Structure 1
């Protein structure tokens, strides 16, 4: 006698499709979870790097503001250009993260914000004779104000460059083997 097994074909094939569908959804959800964890890690690293950069920029801006105020005091204190630059040299050589170039009258502030990058700010220091004709300085001051610039800082110091500098060699990650077609 032949028995027809319609019950298996009626419930077996849809069950297999259901199991396969659930398995596919589980795999897709695991892949999505892995990708989201990688995105979270990359975002966290990016946030740390960006925060460190802006903290270094803030410290460099504070250095520049403090330098301008100190230079204003030296300008009023010094009678000659050599005495002024000697005061500036003594002050900047005592500062941390600052290199003074006495020939070019420039100071370079370098602040590391990661293992591989630093912020480098180069500032030029100027001598202005305070005993110059007041009408000329008044006209220059009004021209500078009209240009929207700060009179004191533009006459005493100026930022020449504000750059991010790579301080380490780049070493590629060769830990994952790549198929080369051989």
Structure 2
């Protein structure tokens, strides 16, 4: 009599399923690891870009507040509009990252916050006749109320608006051509 050997079928098939299951789990864990590394890299780049943008916005807000203080000092020093704009022109032409347009009385502040983007803030400079404001008390009261209003720019920063200067635009400008990445990243066992 021949004895049938069922030992292979009793242990072989479950062992193959176990090996196949372990292999699937290893592959899924490697794919998850690769995805999580890409997500971390993407999040880090996004954090750096956002931080750089808000730092540039903070510097632009500081520029605007310094400009308003300087303009108030210039208006206290001079009596005529032409001498006021001469002082403003000299001051803004000496500033870094600022272009002064003497015809429109506007200053454009540019601050690069990455290799491909800059923050552009355009500010209009006004001349107000202080002697006419001091003659009528309600004019002074209305000018004070107008100079104390607060404007929220698109960066979410509160910037005081005044009769001396006003923000015309606050934009992000692309300064380089966009070159898409057409390469396909392949896992290299890092």
**Same fold by TM (over 0.5)?**
yes
Question: Within 5 Å, which residues of 2 pair with 1:16-31?
Answer: 16-31=16-31
Change (3 A) 1:133 1:65: closer
Runs (5+) with no aligned partner, structure 1: none
RMSD across aligned C-alpha pairs, in angstroms?
A: 5.4
Say yes or no: does 1:168 pair with 2:176.
yes
Aligned length: 181
What are the Cα deviations for residues 133-159 of structure 1, in whole angstroms up to 9, with x where unaligned? Answer: 536463463476x99999984210000
Change (3 A) 1:151 1:81: farther
What SS does structure 1 have at the residue aligned with 2:132? Answer: coil
Change (3 A) 1:157 1:89: same
Whether the 8 Å contact between 1:119 and 1:164 is mirrored in structure 2 is yes
Runs (5+) with no aligned partner, structure 2: 145-153
Q: Offset at 1:85?
A: 0.2
What are the Cα deviations for residues 15-70 of structure 1, in whole angstroms up to 9, with x where unaligned? Answer: 10011001101100100000000000000000000000000000000000000000
State the distance in 2 between where 1:180 and 1:16 align: 29
Q: Offset at 1:179?
A: 20
State the distance in 2 between where 1:176 and 1:122 align: 41
State the distance in 2 between where 1:147 and 1:132 align: 36
TM-score by length of 2: 0.84
What are the Cα deviations for residues 86-108 of structure 1, in whole angstroms up to 9, with x where unaligned? Answer: 00000000000000000000000
Whether the 8 Å contact between 2:161 and 2:167 is mirrored in structure 1 is no
What SS does structure 2 have at the residue aligned with 1:131? Answer: helix
